[in-house]
Structure 1
Amino acid sequence: MILGTLTMVTMLYAMTVTIANVSLPQMQGSLSATTDQIALVVTFNIIATAVATPMTGWLAARFSRRAILVWGVIGFTCASLACGLATSLEGLVLFRILQGAFGAPLVPLSQAIVMDSYPREKQASAMAVFGMGVVVGPVLAPTVGGYLSELYNWRWVFFMIVPCGLVALAGVIVYIQDRSRAGASHLDWTGFLTLSVFIASFQFMLDQGERMDWFDSGTILMCAALASLALYVFIAHSVTADRPFLNPKLLTDRNYTLGLLIVFVFGMLNFTPTTLLPPLMQGVRGYPDSIIGLVLGARGVGTLGGFFLMFWANKFDPRFLLITGFACQGVAGWTMAHFSVDMTTWGVLWTSCLQGFGVGVIWVPLTLVTFATLDKRHTAEATAIFHLVRNFGSSIFISLSIALALHSARESYANLTVNASPLNEALSMQGGLFRTWSLDSVGALAGLSREMGRQALMIGYLNAFMLFAITSFAVIPLVLMVRVVRR
């Protein structure tokens, strides 16, 4: 029952990682937001999780694991309900931040309790069942959420989390009894606050840079200065403090340092397609939410396949598995970068599934090689940094991809408008039934403008997917530098 409860808690959090993505286009229209503004719903949730995750150990030591799980599930469920009731973009982003902050301790604490509840010989089997929560959540959430948002509206993707949260809360209250506390525990508040300020300022700069014309904006300049100052204070404090928030001595381990670099890129690639595909599919091709949910669910099915493959493939060299996983992501990104405006549902489905398969193949060997040579005494702290870097990579790359797509779309539209001229012979050569475009009326001009906007938007997304593919292949040389520990 402990294992079932904690698997449910983990699945509860894993659902929210992808569930909002399926309804991003509907949220965008309902809240009158632009593409870069609605992306804040995803990125700020990831950032809140990244900032709050390293506090998990301190919170559990001070208030007990049970207390943090109970209040974490309560806060997470209430924040999910508030997301569904939000009436403005600002309110929705605020509640998504709270959702990420309350949800951050759930997965690491659940994992720790599962490990402590089973003897060593049964831990592998228990973790296999526990891992199903992480994998099944992103499969079910977008599929069910897509149908609910199409039948009702986008708010139901958040409302559907509430009953799951109540079931998980009942299980935690009844079956989780770990009330042990370490009493007065240490938290380096200077390091925590400066790191939080750096991440938040840098993320806001990336999210709003394209909209505010980058460094021509005083707000962007202020965010850049604040991020630089906070990063300097954080690094200087971490090097000189006796007990820093993040211990820089961990970086002396070669495998761990390489693992952080690789997991940063892994985070960059993990959720970017699930953020780019929904607005692309609806904005360019007019797909309904239910089909978009199936596409995002296909990514989860691919991840599930990669996860099951690891049950027997773990005897292979982990470097080979890592290269295979990143190559799968690269091939998927390369294929997406060659979509046309007439892309098919099957084409999007199999590329999403392949990208998800790459995620499933990468995760287990990446975790193994990162911690293979690290002193066991530093595992808790090193794991917190590991997840922090992964989440930070996700939020940064989503923002960069959205900015690249929008910038490319604007440039492409400007280039295409040059052709909407009476001097363009192609327009005058259309005759009879094939006279599709013309400059004869306001309505015809509006139709031509819409089509040019659609084509320009497609070019922008294709450039973002090309960046995704290049990043996937570029990390492979780092994998070859990893040292494998032979048993």
Structure 2
Amino acid sequence: MTAAATPAAPRDGEVANRGLITLSIMLATVMQVLDTTIANVALPSMRGSLGASQDSINWVLTSYIVAAAIMTPMTGWLSDRLGRKRLFLISVGGFTLFSMLCGLSGSLAEMVVFRLMQGVFGAALVPLSQSVLLDINPKEKHGQAMAMWGAGIMVGPILGPTLGGWLTDVLDWRWVFYINVPVGLLAFLGIAGFMPAVGKRLRGFDFLGFALLSLGVGALQMMLDRGEQLDWFASGEIVLELALAVSAFWMFTVHTLTAKDPFIHPGIFRDRNFVTGLVFIFVVGIILLATMALLPPMLSRLFDYSSTTTGLVLAPRGVGTMISMLLVGRLVQKIDARLLILVGLGLTAWSLHMMTQFSPQMDAWPLVESGVIQGLGLGLVFVPLSTMTFATLAPRYRTDGTALFSLMRNIGSSIGISIVTSLLTRNIQINHAVLGGHVTATDPAVRGLIEGLGGSITDPATLSVLDGMVSAQAAMIAYLDDFKLMMFVTLAAVPLLLLLKAPAKKGAAPGVPADAPH
């Protein structure tokens, strides 16, 4: 049941202190996005300090990811119920508080609980920030607004491991969490002081719909996060989680289409641009974080790069993204957004093709060059996509829409990371067996190599060196195969451009009217 709403929000762009509001909400957004990757590099130090095992320390990441995934779809309902400003303040305050408590944790149990609460409070920050930026900017400036928002979203995962490694090496792993405290306080004060309070819309809470969606998302995230560790479908837990995810999503779909007042109104899925945008952002999630999940271990293991060198080599990727964001925010008003997305996909596929040529014998320049090109490409995709996804969506669906947009990006990232890491492990074993089968005493190349090592085919030390060389080659080939797969995924997204339609010209009524029945 929907109660009478309080006064509506001001029209797009009709708001004072737009710059200070933007700064405040972007501080909160970057803080949350950084936290998805900044803690990863601190896990080894954290494990020793908290007395955790190699397997159990992973719950520090899992608890955060699962909690955030479950709570993200709640953003629209909570925003209507509490008011967007109040929800923003609660989210920033809670996230900052539990960040501090994570830094103070003295045991693994405390850390997991505090990280879970971090995920609960942080889930709304990204969709809320996107929704606010779309609301406080006039329609002709949505491209620039999304460029700023996209810069925070996409640079965060790239810079997170570098910043986390530096804080852990120079200070202590606890500063990975403490750094959120001053940022969170500034964001809280800025939002409290400058963001206007908008009207509430009291709508009924569909508990069954939320429970089914939460069960599906939670089970899927658990399966993706723990699958590699438990050998996927050889594990009863993974099979159970898959069954729960499929069943819950199916029942949620049926319930959404038949319920009188569902948790997510099906009207939102009648917008073709929005639905196509969800599929697109799923692909972007796969490419962005899957690439970042592969490169650091590859550079450390096969290229023998230090953590600092790895961070420096990967940083230009973020520079490319920032340059792209600055340019595309203006270009999106002058050039068909679909053409910009096509160019972005082309650049991204080109960078991944360059990555299929990587070799441990090369210098750092190909890493830097491919990273800059990929950053440029992803930026050209992300901003026009974010703009077109919401160009024709009714404003009343905007907060629910941004929540689903963030959820699909995160699920794409999780699925992408799971696929590439699983294929990496499997292909390393296959490649090792194939390459090892060619290492025989009768092979002239092998004999020459053994002579160069000054050993013999029966010498254990020589055999160990040969096995290490075979393992390195097997791993390198497996990494290249993953890059090739992501290139094909990128190219497979190109036909989706045919489903996107140009938004109505200024002055035309976009999509479903704002006062459409809910």
Normalised to the residue count of structure 2, the TM-score between the two structures is: 0.80
Secondary structure of the corresponding residue to residue 271 of structure 1: helix
Farther-moved stretch of structure 1 (15-24 vs 296-305):
15-24
Please name the residue that 1:51 is paired with: 70
Q: 2:404 — aligned with what? A: 385
Alpha carbons 1:118, 1:126 under 8 Å: kept: yes
The match for 2:318 is 300
Determine the C-alpha separation between the residues in 2 that align with 1:369 and 1:119: 15
Asked if 1:260 corresponds to 2:299, the answer is no
Aligned to 2:120: 101
1:345 is the counterpart of 2:376: no
Do residues 12 (structure 1) and 44 (structure 2) align? no
- Residues 299 and 174 (structure 1 numbering): CA distance in 2 closer, same or farther, change over 3 Å? same
Cα separation, partners in 2 of 1:361 and 1:453, compared to 1, 3 Å:
same
Among 210, 230, 238, which residue is 2:256 paired with?
238
Equivalent-residue separation in structure 2 for 1:55 and 1:221 (angstroms): 27
Q: Contact conserved, 1:139 with 1:298, CA < 8 A, in 2?
A: no
Cα pair 1:43 1:398 within 8 Å, conserved: no
Alpha-carbon distance in structure 2 between the residues aligned to 1:144 and 1:303:
17
Q: Aligned pair in 2 of structure 1 residues 196, 265: CA closer, same or farther (>3 Å)?
A: same
Q: Taking structure 1 as reference, are residues 50 and 87 closer, same or farther at Cα in structure 2, changes over 3 Å only?
A: same
User: Within 5 A, what are the aligned runs for 1:315-330?
Assistant: 315-330=334-349
Shift of 1:472: 0.5
Which residue is 2:166 aligned to? 147
The structure-2 alpha-carbon separation of the partners of 1:270 and 1:174, relative to structure 1 and needing over 3 Å to count, comes to same
3-state DSSP of counterpart to 2:302: helix
Instruction: Show the counterpart of 1:484.
Output: 502
Contact 1:341 1:455 in 2 (8 A): no
- Which of 250, 254, 263 lines up with 2:268 in the alignment? 250
Which residue in the other structure is 1:188 paired with? 206
The aligned amino acid for 1:387 is S
Question: d(CA) in 2 for partners of 1:28 and 1:127?
Answer: 38
Q: CA deviation at 1:376?
A: 3.9
Q: Which residue is equivalent to 2:430?
A: 411
Structure 1 position 25, deviation (Å):
8.0
Give, as a single letter, the amino acid of the residue that structure 1 aligns with 2:70. Answer: V
Return the match for 1:203 from 194, 202, 221.
Answer: 221
User: Is this contact kept in 2: 1:69–1:106, CA < 8 A?
Assistant: yes
What secondary structure sits across from 1:285 in the alignment?
coil
Q: Relative to structure 1, is the Cα distance of residues 350 and 213 closer, same or farther in structure 2, using a 3 angstrom cutoff?
A: same
Could you say which residue in structure 2 is the equivalent of 1:166? 185
1:447 maps to 465
- Per-residue CA deviations over 1:169-227 (Å, capped at 9, x if unaligned) read 34445555738655x53222212221222222223333443443433332222222222
- Which blocks of at least 5 consecutive residues in structure 1 are unaligned? none
Q: Deviations over 1:144-179 (max 9, x none)?
A: 434333435555433433332233334445555738
Q: Does residue 360 of structure 2 align to residue 334 of structure 1?
A: no
How has the CA–CA distance of structure 1 residues 211 and 116 changed in structure 2, closer, same or farther, with 3 Å as cutoff?
closer
Secondary structure in 1 matching 2:346: helix
Q: Is the 8 A contact 1:33 1:89 kept in 2?
A: no
* Closer/same/farther in 2, CA of residues 301 and 105 from structure 1, 3 Å limit: same
Identity of aligned residues (%): 39
Greater shift, 87-96 or 314-323, is seen at: 87-96
Counterpart residue number, 2:391: 372
Please list the CA deviations of residues 437-465 of structure 1 after superposition, one character each: whole Å capped at 9, or x if unmatched: 65444443333333333222222222211
Q: Does residue 285 of structure 1 match 2:306? A: no
| Residues 234, 412 of structure 1: alpha-carbon distance in 2 compared, 3 angstrom cutoff | same
Matched with 1:463 is 481
Taking the aligned partners of 1:52 and 1:46, their CA distance within structure 2 comes to 10
The more displaced of 245-254 and 152-161 is 152-161
Q: Distance in 2 between matches of 1:77 and 1:404?
A: 37
1:58/1:374 Cα in 2 relative to 1: closer, same or farther (>3 Å)?
A: closer
Q: CA deviation at 1:80?
A: 3.3
Task: After TM superposition, give the deviation of residue 87 of structure 1 in Å.
Answer: 7.8
Q: 1:366 to 1:125 in 2, by over 3 A?
A: closer
- Find the aligned partners of 2:164 and 2:204 in 1 and give their Cα distance: 41
The range that moved more, 334-343 or 118-127, is: 118-127
1:402 equivalent in structure 2: 421
Q: 1: CA distance between counterparts of 2:213 and 2:292?
A: 27
Moved more, 152-161 or 463-472: 152-161
- How far apart are residue 305 of structure 1 and its match? 1.1
CA separation of 1:206 and 1:91: change in aligned 2, threshold 3 A: farther
Amino acid at match of 1:167: L
How far apart are the structure 2 equivalents of 1:219 and 1:75? 32
Shift of 1:408: 0.9
> How many Å separate the matches in 2 of 1:193 and 1:382?
19
| Counterpart mapping for 1:7-46 below 5 A | 7-20=26-39, 33=54, 45-46=64-65
Instruction: Map residues 100-119 of structure 1 onto 2, 5 A cutoff.
Output: 100-113=119-132
| TM superposition shift of 1:96 | 4.5
TM-score, normalised by the number of residues in structure 1: 0.85
More helix per residue: 1
The count of corresponding residues between Structure 1 and Structure 2 is: 483
Partners of 1:322 and 1:365 within 8 A in 2: yes
CA contact (8 A) 2:46 2:173 kept: yes
CA distance in structure 2 between the partners assigned to 1:354 and 1:23 by the alignment: 29
Does the aligned pair in 2 maintain the 1:150–1:288 contact within 8 Å? Answer: no
Q: Which moved more, 1:325-334 or 1:383-392?
A: 383-392
Is the contact between residue 69 and residue 218 of structure 2 (CA under 8 Å) also seen in structure 1?
no
Q: Is the 8 A contact 1:15 1:140 kept in 2?
A: yes
Shift of 1:270: 2.4
Q: Is the 8 A contact 1:21 1:274 kept in 2?
A: no
**Conservation of the 8 A alpha-carbon contact between 2:84 and 2:197:** yes
Contact kept? 2:143, 2:330, Cα under 8 Å: no
Paired letter, 2:385: L
Shift of 1:127: 6.7
Q: Quote the Cα distance in structure 2 between the aligned partners of 1:290 and 1:439.
A: 38
What SS is found at the alignment partner of 1:324? Answer: helix
Q: Could you tell me how far apart the structure 2 residues matched to 1:465 and 1:88 are?
A: 38
What SS class does the counterpart of residue 405 from structure 2 fall into? Answer: helix
Which residue does 1:228 correspond to in 2? Answer: 246
What CA deviation, in whole Å up to 9, does each residue of 1:100-129 have, x standing for no partner? 332121233344455666778888777766
Q: Check the 8 A contact 1:285/1:341 in 2, yes or no.
A: yes
